A = this chain, B = another copy of it.
Amino acid sequence: MTRQDLFEQIISKQSYLCVGLDADINRIPKHLLKYDDPIFEFNKQIIDATKDLCIAYKPNLAFYEALGPKGWLSLQKTLDYIPEEIFTIADAKRGDIGNTSRLYAKAFFETLNFDSVTVAPYMGEDSVMPFLEFENKWVILLALTSNKGSNDFQFTKQEDGQPLYEKVMRKAMTWGTSENLMFVVGATHPEKFTEIRSIAPEHFLLVPGVGAQGGDLAGLSKYGKNDLLGLLVNSSRGIIFASEGEDFAEAAGNAAKKLQIEMSGLI
């Protein structure tokens, strides 16, 4: 999928919403536990209720790994169920020495057929490149994350005065292009989007932290969008757990609709 493909979806759906499929077995509605595969059933109903309102789905791998082999089967079925035109993100935050990163890339891009995977930058170029070598696939590199701990290392200034996240972005832009590399920038840092756009005017940004984490959609959209919109704004818990009752899918659809309407006014 190209940037242009993403942009066309954004225009046609009037949305740049990504729905985080963080299907926590301890939080999904109890009546689903009678199904053979409660996690897949939950995701299926969430996808049915939101697929016309979003342009991407992002399962966080932790919620599937926590269930062992069963979790992988639920994830595989979920991936197969997502409509082909919708962008898929393996939120895995992987990164390892070269031969090992290559295997992770195969797991996510070939075995599971994700369009993209989130990658952690700490181990540098040879930990990221194996992901960038797959055609028509994307790396979404952690730059400025949405959590409190982003203050510990990401903001600390380097000897040359730039904060670490900026150094990460500039360096990574020598490894990939705006057609195979995106950055994670948390919605909890709306004041940073102008600066981030001055570093990476063309790259898509994956923006977590709207909803449960309290990010400001209007602010970040104003300063973060570019000619091809350039934003995938994620909400997980705020949508999928909008209700924990039997009406969970309807409630998720309503929560997604609310964000989509807000987004349509910001495009």
By a beta-carbon cutoff of 8 Å, the part of chain A in contact with chain B is 22, 24, 60, 62-63, 65-70, 72-73, 76, 91, 93-98, 100-101, 103-104, 106-107, 111-112, 120-128, 142, 145-154, 156-159, 161, 164, 167-168, 171, 213
**Which residues from B are CB-within-8-Å of A127?**
147, 149
Top 6 nearest A-B pairs by Cβ distance? A124-B149, A124-B152, A69-B69, A157-B159, A69-B72, A62-B103
**In the complex, which of the residues A94, A100, A128 has the most CB atoms of chain B within 10 Å of its own CB atom?**
A100
Chain B nearest Cβ from A3, distance in angstroms:
26
Chain B nearest Cβ from A175, distance in angstroms:
10
14 intermolecular pairs with C-beta atoms under 8 Å apart: A62-B100, A63-B100, A66-B104, A68-B112, A93-B95, A93-B120, A93-B123, A97-B145, A97-B147, A97-B213, A122-B154, A124-B149, A126-B149, A153-B164
Closest to A212 in B: B99
**Which residues from B are CB-within-8-Å of A112?**
68
- Excluding A68-B112, A153-B168, 12 further A-B contacts by CB distance (< 8 Å) are A60-B96, A62-B100, A63-B103, A66-B107, A66-B111, A69-B72, A97-B147, A121-B122, A124-B151, A153-B167, A157-B158, A157-B159
Chain B nearest Cβ from A188, distance in angstroms:
11
**Which residues from B are CB-within-8-Å of A68?**
72, 76, 107, 111-112
Copies in the complex: 2
**Which residues from B are CB-within-8-Å of A106?**
66
Q: Once the chains bind, are A123 and B151 in contact (CB under 8 Å)?
A: no
Chain B nearest Cβ from A172, distance in angstroms:
9
Report the Cα distance A126→B67, complex, angstroms.
23
Give the residue of B104, B123, B151, B156 whose beta carbon is less than 8 angstroms from that of A65.
Answer: B104
Q: Once the chains bind, are A62 and B120 in contact (CB under 8 Å)?
A: no
Report the Cα distance A179→B138, complex, angstroms.
39
